[in-house]
Each structure stands twice: as structure tokens, then as C-alpha cells.
């Protein structure tokens, strides 16, 4: 999946994404050590993010997308949320 396709799936344009990364970096730098440790624990792994995008997306794709993000233990500091899967149009009886 290309960078453009991933940004589209996330629902954000390139300029807004770059601005988001800048703001996340500023937010992180404002945290004290305990807050930063808590924040880091809430982040998904690169493998989890790749899985959220779907089949065919690799950890390298995610690392490339987030290359401009501030590093956290070697992993980019971004909370990805591609969104929930589309609801089942025919959930069946009783659901």
C-alpha cells in the first residue's frame, strides 16, 4: 500500500498529517517521565498498525509512512486508527 493510499484510509491529507506529527512531537516533549511512560504504553506496535490496515501492508510500509515521526524506542510515535471495519450489511437473524 502506498503512502497516499494509507493517508487516504486514515482520512487525512499529507499536509495535515505532517502538521499532526509536529504537534505530537510538541505534546510528547511537554510530558514528564511518568506521563511519557504512560503515553508510550498506549501506543500500538508497528505490527498491530500494519494488521489494522489489512492484508498486504507490511511493517516496512508503516515505518515508511511514519518516518517523520519522533522515534520512541525505535518505533514511531503515532496513534493510528484506520477505523472499524464496515458493518455487516446482513448480520443474520437475532443480531
What number is the average pLDDT over the span 64-77?
60
What number is the average pLDDT over the span 25-47?
89
Looking at the chain, the whole-number percentage of residues with pLDDT higher than 70 is: 71
Of the pLDDT bands very low, low, confident and very high (cuts 50, 70, 90), residue 45 is confident
What does DSSP assign to residue 73? Answer: T
What number is the average pLDDT over the span 56-77?
70
Least Cα distance to 78 among 94, 64, 92 occurs for 64
* pTM assigned to the model: 0.65
Of the pLDDT bands very low, low, confident and very high (cuts 50, 70, 90), residue 33 is very high
Domain coordinates of the chain in residue numbers? 3-76
Q: Can you tell me whether residue 29 is helix, strand or coil?
A: helix
Question: Rounded to whole angstroms, how far apart are CA atoms 13 and 15?
Answer: 6
Amino acid at each position: 500500500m502506498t503512502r497516499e493510499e494509507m493517508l487516504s484510509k486514515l482520512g487525512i491529507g499529507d499536509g495535515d498529517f505532517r502538521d499532526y506529527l509536529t504537534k505530537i512531537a510538541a505534546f510528547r516533549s511537554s510530558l514528564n517521565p511518568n506521563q511519557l511512560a504512560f503515553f508510550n504504553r498506549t501506543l500500538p506496535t508497528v505490527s498491530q498498525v500494519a494488521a489494522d490496515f489489512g492484508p498486504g501492508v507490511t511493517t516496512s510500509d508503516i515505518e515508511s509512512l511514519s518516518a517523520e515521526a519522533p522515534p520512541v524506542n525505535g518505533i514511531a510515535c503515532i496513534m493510528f486508527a484506520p477505523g472499524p471495519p464496515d458493518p455487516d450489511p446482513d448480520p443474520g437473524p437475532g443480531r
